[in-house]
């Protein structure tokens, strides 16, 4: 990392900005944690990285939610944005900005973006009639509308076939973005960048939409319908469509309109990854690139479109109310265990059902019984000194040769040597879940190694040189595993990984990706203890099962 050019563009990752019509749930936390893990991984490798999260505050949905509570919209937004910001803090999201679409610089960026679109002749005024869904904040074509019946009231209503949310018929004059003019450019871009969307399977949906459903986009609403939004520059009878407003947040963070191509190292645009849920794929993979292409701005490098958390197999959503409060979950399980669960079990391709038993099972097996147990077994024993084992191995300087004849040990060395590079490849996809699974597998193997080698028996024969060798090497490999795994877990479980590295006595400046290699550090092994303490706290204490 030290060899990177000084002016390299910072890595820039984003989350969606969330509607403030209701409080956050674990689905929102999932996007935040995914983005955070990506950012922290880059930081670990020595790259400057930026993360932006925030709230989407304009639009009919928020306007109505505020009216329902009889609170002025700005105050309603302040109250709810604070909840998302609080979640970001509690979830240890290392964000560089919490952006709000009511921020002044964002409003200026949106107005300027509009101005440029108009300059290019890509905005025109016309009558618009169609089915609008307030919940999804978008129009749906006739072919995507169906009749539905409310199971409680029996009332029949028209809804989107895609989301099941209610639509209403709207006829009005408004401004349109000539998106159809970008059709060929979009299709050409997709063809040239088949891995732009992760998972790749989602690309088909996007291409299909552009090929078969692309129409010009209605990008404003009359003020008497939508007053809570940014006014159209030069026409204050119209308000800018909330999705156009919202998407531009990614550029605001990068300094637009002061940001221009060539200033990549300043603001970070183009984003390296937009983390989104699959529910907003079309907005990010059709509308957003169309808007950027319209202004000849570079497109984001990649879109990570993750699957959903469900409750009893139904999408967790604010409108259904079947949500888990992430703050309660963090209080109950601890933030690191919660982050671990979300990444380890959360889906990118397939939805995951949120389940406390699964969470608790993983905690017990992998964290308490796996990582915590390995730490205890090796570090707490009075039968040996891990520091001495490390010094012993360092003195011999022939790790590869010494373990050559031992399958379990040489396997562990090989696994440790490839762990960093392989996890790095998976993070580049990005597939944090795969990286985390791999890290945990290597940890599990070390527990197996300890069970097989039985250092507690080897320690009984200090005069047998073979046993002494085996004792020192098994302790060393267990310690190396903990050290390397501890370093690589930092992006996933920032506070527990730091605790683990403290217990191992790994100094602060030796916790980088470059140190996650066999033999990169021989100076660790004596725990850093808080003043006045003679032993460290258990890394993963038992948690009560409340079920
Ligand atoms: O769509 N599982 O905001 P939103 C996983 N303001 N992730 C989930 C989820 C679930 N059950 N439910 C929500 C908006 N999410 C717009 C975005 S961006 C320029 C504007 C996450 O509050 C997921 O990331 O409805 C999803 O895409 C996002 O929250 C939708 O949040």
Phi, psi of 159 (to 5 degrees): -140, 165
Helix H, strand E, coil C: the string for 38-85 is HHHHHHHCCCCEEEEEEEECCCHHHHHHHHHCCCCHHHHHHHHHHHHH
Helix H, strand E, coil C: the string for 417-437 is HHHHHHHHHHHHCCCHHHHHH
- Residue 73 near residue 229 (C-beta atoms within 8 A): no
- Those residues with Cβ within 8 angstroms of residue 181's Cβ, 6 or more apart along the chain or in another chain: 122, 294
Ligand 1 atom 8 nearest Cα: 27
- Interface ipTM > 0.95: yes
Beta-bridge partners for 50: 12
- Those residues with Cβ within 8 angstroms of residue 393's Cβ, 6 or more apart along the chain or in another chain: 399, 472, 473, 476, 522
Element (H, E) at 337: helix 335-345
Q: 14 C-alpha to center of ligand 1: Å?
A: 12
- Residue 131 near residue 169 (C-beta atoms within 8 A): yes
Q: Is the CB of 84 under 6 A from ligand 1?
A: no
- Residue 445 near residue 338 (C-beta atoms within 8 A): no
Q: Is the CB of 16 under 6 A from ligand 1?
A: yes
Q: Is the CB of 279 under 6 A from ligand 1?
A: yes
| pLDDT tens sequence for the chain (547 residues) | 445 555 689 999 999 999 999 999 999 999 999 999 999 999 999 999 999 999 999 999 999 999 999 999 999 999 999 999 999 999 999 999 999 999 999 999 999 999 999 999 999 999 999 999 999 999 999 999 999 998 889 999 999 999 999 999 999 999 999 999 999 999 999 999 999 999 999 999 999 999 999 999 999 999 999 999 999 999 999 999 999 999 999 999 999 988 777 776 677 899 999 999 999 999 999 999 999 999 999 999 999 999 999 998 888 887 778 899 999 999 999 999 999 999 999 999 999 999 999 999 999 999 999 999 999 999 989 999 999 999 999 999 999 999 999 999 999 999 999 999 999 999 999 999 999 999 999 999 999 999 999 999 999 999 999 999 999 999 999 999 999 999 999 999 999 999 999 999 999 999 999 999 999 999 999 888 888 777 788 899 988 654 4
Q: What is the spatial distance between Cα 243 and Cα 229, in angstroms, rounded to a whole number? A: 11
Instruction: Give the position, in ligand 1's atom list, of the atom nearest the Cα of 56.
Output: 6
Q: Is the CB of 453 under 6 A from ligand 1?
A: no
Provide the CA 463 distance to its chain's centre, in angstroms.
Answer: 53
Provide the CA 243 distance to its chain's centre, in angstroms.
Answer: 21
Q: Is the CB of 243 under 6 A from ligand 1?
A: no
Q: 251 C-alpha to center of ligand 1: Å?
A: 19
Map tokens 């795994």 to a residue.
485
- Those residues with Cβ within 8 angstroms of residue 204's Cβ, 6 or more apart along the chain or in another chain: none
Element (H, E) at 339: helix 335-345
**What is the three-class DSSP state of 182?**
helix
- 281-312: per-residue pLDDT in tens? 999 999 999 999 999 999 999 999 999 999 98
Q: 535 C-alpha to center of ligand 1: Å?
A: 43
Phi, psi of 381 (to 5 degrees): -65, 140
Q: At 449, list the tokens.
A: 């190694």
Ligand 1 atom 9 nearest Cα: 27
Q: 310 C-alpha to center of ligand 1: Å?
A: 13
Q: 204 C-alpha to center of ligand 1: Å?
A: 21
Best of 14, 22, 23, 30 to mutate for ligand 1, by most ligand atoms within 8 A of CB?
A: 30
Q: 30 C-alpha to center of ligand 1: Å?
A: 10
Nearest CA to 519 among 470, 466, 481?
A: 481
- 443-465: per-residue pLDDT in tens? 999 999 999 999 999 999 999 99
Instruction: Give the position, in ligand 1's atom list, of the atom nearest the Cα of 31.
Output: 24
Integer angstrom CA distances of residue 230 from 6, 217, 234: 38, 17, 12
Q: Is the CB of 246 under 6 A from ligand 1?
A: yes
Q: What is the spatial distance between Cα 387 and Cα 333, in angstroms, rounded to a whole number? A: 33
Q: 444 C-alpha to center of ligand 1: Å?
A: 34
């Amino acid at each position: 990392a030290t060899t990177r050019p000084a002016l390299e563009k910072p890595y820039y990752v984003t989350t969606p900005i969330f509607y403030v019509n209701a409080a956050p749930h674990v689905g929102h936390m999932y996007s935040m944690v995914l983005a955070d893990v990506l950012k922290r991984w880059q930081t670990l490798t020595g790259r400057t990285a930026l993360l932006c999260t925030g709230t989407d505050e304009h639009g009919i949905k928020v306007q109505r939610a505020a009216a329902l509570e009889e609170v002025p919209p700005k105050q309603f937004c302040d109250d709810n944005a604070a909840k998302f910001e609080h979640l970001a803090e509690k979830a240890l999201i290392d964000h560089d900005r919490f952006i709000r679409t009511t921020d002044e610089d964002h409003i200026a960026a949106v107005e300027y973006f509009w101005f440029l679109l108009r300059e290019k002749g890509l905005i025109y005024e016309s009558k618009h009639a169609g089915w609008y869904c307030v919940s999804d904040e978008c129009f749906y074509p006739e072919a995507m509308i169906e009749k539905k019946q409310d199971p409680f009231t029996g009332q029949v209503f028209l809804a989107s076939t895609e989301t099941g949310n209610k639509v209403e018929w709207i006829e009005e004059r408004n401004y349109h973005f000539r998106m159809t003019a970008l059709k060929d450019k979009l299709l050409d871009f997709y063809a040239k960048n088949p891995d732009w969307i992760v998972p790749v399977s989602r690309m088909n949906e996007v291409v299909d939409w552009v090929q078969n459903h692309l129409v010009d986009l209605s990008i404003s609403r009359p003020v008497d319908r939508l007053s809570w939004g940014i006014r159209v520059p030069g026409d204050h009878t119209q308000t800018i469509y909330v999705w156009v407003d919202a998407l531009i947040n990614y550029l605001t963070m990068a300094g637009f309109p002061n940001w221009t191509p060539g200033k990549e190292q300043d603001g970070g645009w183009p984003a390296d990854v937009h983390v989104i849920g699959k529910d907003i794929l079309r907005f990010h993979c059709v509308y957003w690139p169309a808007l950027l292409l319209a202004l000849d701005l570079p497109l984001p490098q990649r879109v990570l479109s993750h699957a959903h958390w469900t409750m009893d197999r139904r999408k967790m959503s604010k409108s259904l109310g079947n949500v888990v409060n992430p703050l309660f979950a963090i209080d109950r399980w601890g933030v690191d265990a919660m982050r671990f669960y979300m990444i380890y079990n959360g889906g990118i391709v397939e939805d995951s059902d949120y389940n406390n038993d699964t969470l608790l099972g993983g905690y017990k097996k992998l964290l308490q019984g796996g990582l915590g147990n390995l730490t205890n077994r090796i570090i707490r024993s009075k039968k040996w000194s891990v520091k001495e084992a490390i010094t012993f191995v360092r003195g011999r300087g022939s790790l590869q040769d010494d373990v050559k004849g031992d399958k379990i040990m040489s396997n562990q060395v090989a696994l440790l040597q490839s762990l960093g590079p392989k996890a790095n490849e998976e993070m580049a996809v990005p597939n944090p879940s795969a990286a985390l699974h791999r890290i945990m597998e290597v940890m599990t193997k070390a527990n197996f190694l300890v069970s097989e080698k039985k250092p507690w028996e080897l320690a009984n024969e200090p005069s047998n040189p073979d046993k002494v060798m085996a004792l020192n090497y098994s302790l060393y490999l267990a310690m190396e595993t903990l050290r390397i795994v501890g370093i690589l877990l930092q992006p996933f479980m920032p506070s527990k990984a730091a605790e683990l590295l403290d217990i191992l006595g790994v100094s602060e400046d030796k916790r980088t990706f470059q140190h996650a290699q066999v033999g990169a550090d021989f100076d660790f092994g004596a725990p850093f203890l808080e003043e006045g303490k003679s032993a460290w706290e258990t890394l993963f204490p038992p948690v009560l099962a409340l079920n």
